[in-house]
A and B are shown apart, each in its own frame.
Chain A
Amino acid sequence: EADIYQTPRYLVIGTGKKITLECSQTMGHDKMYWYQQDPGMELHLIHYSYGVNSTEKGDLSSESTVSRIRTEHFPLTLESARPSHTSQYLCASSELGGGKNIQYFGAGTRLSVL
């Protein structure tokens, strides 16, 4: 099993609050990703990173921001949460290089903004 952890698993907060979703992996993977998924819908890539100090925006525009100060840690921050941010957020990681790029996912954080 993959060693990638997300906290919290569930979060209910009020509008306007600042939140940080945590993601950590112990596999030493260089690449990390954040996806957003609404119930029963597709996954959409919102951020990714190739390594420390590298962050890129994904295919789906998001008001969230990410940072990569340490290899194992890739937190996602929302400065001012809104009800439209209600969704499931999934973090993943993979090795850098090679053509296979198998991604390992965390269990996700289900966010509800009231």
Chain B
Amino acid sequence: LAKTTQPISMDSYEGQEVNITCSHNNIATNDYITWYQQFPSQGPRFIIQGYKTKVTNEVASLFIPADRKSSTLSLPRVSLSDTAVYYCLVGDWSKAAGNKLTFGGGTRVLVKP
């Protein structure tokens, strides 16, 4: 699985947009980029997944440049309830050997009033 690097923590305020960038310089051709959110004492929850360009859903947007060596998760107009740890994962899970997820340290996002 491609190694990922993301900031340890970020602070924001309610109503602001939060952008978390993840670096994955060794991403392979068949790798997907997936983001999860985890609240304290809960399991991670899938947020968004993409392969290239931009993906948007009701929760977030994911921006992936042409070289795919990084990706940015964008959370629009955050609220206090968006305080959580956000994980970036990269991998080709179509292969039997790659059907695992490796979670790094994630980014702790604190939303302040």
Q: Return 15 A-B CB contacts under 8 Å, by A number.
A: A43-B103, A45-B100, A45-B101, A45-B102, A88-B41, A90-B44, A98-B93, A98-B94, A99-B93, A100-B34, A100-B93, A105-B42, A106-B43, A108-B41, A108-B43
B92 touches A99 (CB 8 A): yes
Q: Are A59 and B100 in contact (CB under 8 A)?
A: yes
- Name the interface size band of chain A: 20 to 34
Inter-subunit contact A101/B93 (CB<8 Å): yes
CB distance from A22 to the nearest CB of B (A): 15
| In the complex, B30 has a CB within 8 A of chain A | yes
User: How many pairs of A and B residues are in contact by the CB < 8 Å rule?
Assistant: 63
Whether A48 and B42, one on each chain, are in contact in the complex, defined by CB atoms closer than 8 angstroms, is no
Q: How far is the CA of A107 from the CA of B49 in the complex (A)?
A: 22
- Residue A58 at the chain B interface, CB threshold 8 Å: yes
Query: Considering the chains assembled together, what is the distance between the CA atoms of A33 and B43 in angstroms?
Result: 12
Interface of B (DSSP majority class): loop
Size of the chain B interface, CB-CB below 8 angstroms: 23
Interface membership of chain B positions 34-53, coded 1 if the CB is closer than 8 angstroms to chain A and 0 otherwise: 10000001111110010000
Residues of chain A from 67 to 114 with CB closer than 8 A to chain B in the complex: 88, 90-92, 97-108, 110
Q: Is the CB of A90 within 8 A of B43?
A: yes
